[in-house]
Amino acid sequence: MTRTDTVPLARNRNFTLLWVGQGCAEIGFSASMLAFPLVVLAITGSAAASGLVLAADAVAQAVLALPGGALVDRWDRRRIMLVCELAQVVALASLVGALLWGGATVLHMVAVAAVLGACRALFEPAEDASLPSLVPDEQLATAIATNSARSSVGQMAGTALGGVLFGVARWAPFLLDLVTHVVAFVALLFVRMPAREVTPAPLGHLGREITEGLRWLWQRREIRVTTVCAVALNLFFAAFYLVVVVLAERRGTPAGEIGVMAAMLGVGGVVGALLAPSLHRRLSPHVAIAGVFWALALLAPLAVVVSSGYLLGGLFALMALLAPTANTTIITHQLLLTPDALRGRLSGTLNVALGIAAALGPALGGLLAEAATPTTAVLISAAGMVVAAVAVTVNPTLRHYPRRTDNRTDDKEPTP
């Protein structure tokens, strides 16, 4: 989008339609993710089966993330998003019907969860790659931060609604998910995206295209360094979160207060996303990224001396405030540095990296909590954050990172 097309983001018809539709879909998705293990437990009584269903969603998304990104660069992105929404509607309708008539099986739920994960592996890179064509450069950071707030609110609202609806009927959370995806599908029908040249290619070339994309991204030092920062940020925070939950539980903190701790983390994320556009404009990329690492490093040790679950929740909220600014800065610069023909692969690669961090973080936190006392584990986590903060602070690439990325490369082809 050119500067002459610029309108306030709230009046950008195409962005607003996409944002509202996906806001609804994220509420439904979070409701389903809460309900899946509860339904499996109610039907089979097996915790292992519950884990299998959730694993099917995660594995499908992880396995298809890199191929999905390459396909997004190859195919029409709006059409991909429409097909993904329609596939999820069909899958969820089959599950709602099976639950209504008492014919739901674990295998059926595994299949539905796998469809949801596969669709996200395609939809998310398609949406990310399309964003720079829907909003002007100067509004891209605001759009990314607004999407982050959408995700946080959708997760909180969907989780709450999923619990309430499951109490009404086992199929009700999935019906909500179905309806929200119908809304998202209809909204997408009215979204207009600039035409882009799509060159058909045999599926046998997909591996080569993935490799070319990975090579191009790795050769760009700015993208490589900021991706490592994003992974480190998510890894350390996920580990620290679990360590503090274990610390609170062993101190005898009531379950209700632990729930408030988790909710306050979401609140901090929403408030941080709302502040991110303003902070992104005022702070240099180096300060924005290093600032969140130092905030985590300085705030983390306070968990040792804070005993109240409510105060720990406030600590989580403070720690979550700056993370959206760092993520907004990283994603904005990465999208503007990457040619349009490679943005799907950029998003797919970042999703894989962050997915690995999301999986390893809790595992690392669990190992720390088992190997040491909770207090020691918190201090070890804080020490790791200090090391990461120092590394980010002295990194020459980040120190000389430009405030604005003026060398957009939308129309340049990737160099193999």
210 belongs to a structural domain: no
181 and 263 both lie in a single domain: no
167 and 99 both lie in a single domain: yes
In 101-171, alpha helices (H): 106-134, 137-168
116 and 237 both lie in a single domain: no
Q: Of 148, 171, 190, which marks where a domain is finished?
A: 190
Number of domains making up the chain: 2
265 and 148 both lie in a single domain: no
204 belongs to a structural domain: no
CA distances from 188 to 183, 325, 361, 415 (A): 9, 28, 35, 32
136 belongs to a structural domain: yes
Q: pTM for the full model? A: 0.84
178 and 230 both lie in a single domain: no
In 45-105, alpha helices (H): 47-74, 77-100
121 and 181 both lie in a single domain: yes
Is residue 310 within 8 Å of 358, Cβ to Cβ? no
127 belongs to a structural domain: yes
Q: Of 147, 168, 190, which marks where a domain is finished?
A: 190
89 belongs to a structural domain: yes
246 and 170 both lie in a single domain: no
Nearest 5°: the CA angle 12, 18, 22 is: 145
90 belongs to a structural domain: yes
Domain that holds residue 163: 10-190
CA dist., res. 67 & res. 60, Å (int)? 11
100 and 226 both lie in a single domain: no
Per-residue pLDDT of the chain (416 residues; tens, 9 = 90+): 544 457 788 889 999 999 999 999 999 999 998 888 888 888 888 777 878 888 888 889 889 999 999 999 988 999 999 999 999 999 999 999 999 998 889 899 999 999 999 999 999 999 999 999 999 988 898 899 899 889 888 888 888 888 889 889 999 999 999 999 999 999 999 999 887 777 666 666 788 899 999 999 899 888 888 888 888 888 888 888 888 888 887 888 887 777 778 778 888 888 988 888 888 888 888 998 899 889 988 998 998 888 788 888 898 889 888 888 888 888 988 899 899 999 999 999 988 888 888 778 888 888 888 888 878 888 888 888 898 899 999 999 888 877 655 444 444 444 43
List Cβ neighbours of 366 (8 Å cut-off, separation of 6 or more). Answer: 242, 246
Give the pLDDT confidence score for residue 363 in this predicted structure.
81
CA dist., res. 83 & res. 89, Å (int)? 10
Q: How many Cβ atoms sit within 10 Å of the Cβ of residue 131? A: 20
Residue 327 has φ and ψ, to the nearest 5°, of -65, -40
CATH number where 182 lies: 1.20.1250.20
Residue carrying structure tokens 């959206």: 324
116 and 239 both lie in a single domain: no
1 belongs to a structural domain: no
Give the pLDDT confidence score for residue 56 in this predicted structure.
87
Give the pLDDT confidence score for residue 4 in this predicted structure.
40
209 belongs to a structural domain: no
115 and 235 both lie in a single domain: no
Q: What is the CA radius of gyration of the chain?
A: 21
19 and 131 both lie in a single domain: yes
Give the pLDDT confidence score for residue 238 in this predicted structure.
82
List Cβ neighbours of 2 (8 Å cut-off, separation of 6 or more). Answer: 136
Is residue 16 within 8 Å of 175, Cβ to Cβ? no
Dihedral angle computed from the Cα positions of residues 307, 308, 314 and 315, in that order, rounded to the nearest 10 degrees: 10
CA dist., res. 255 & res. 5, Å (int)? 51
Residue 237: exposure state from Cβ atoms within 10 A (0-12, 13-18, ≥19): buried
Token digits of residue 325: 């600014």
247 and 156 both lie in a single domain: no
Q: Of 140, 171, 190, which marks where a domain is finished?
A: 190
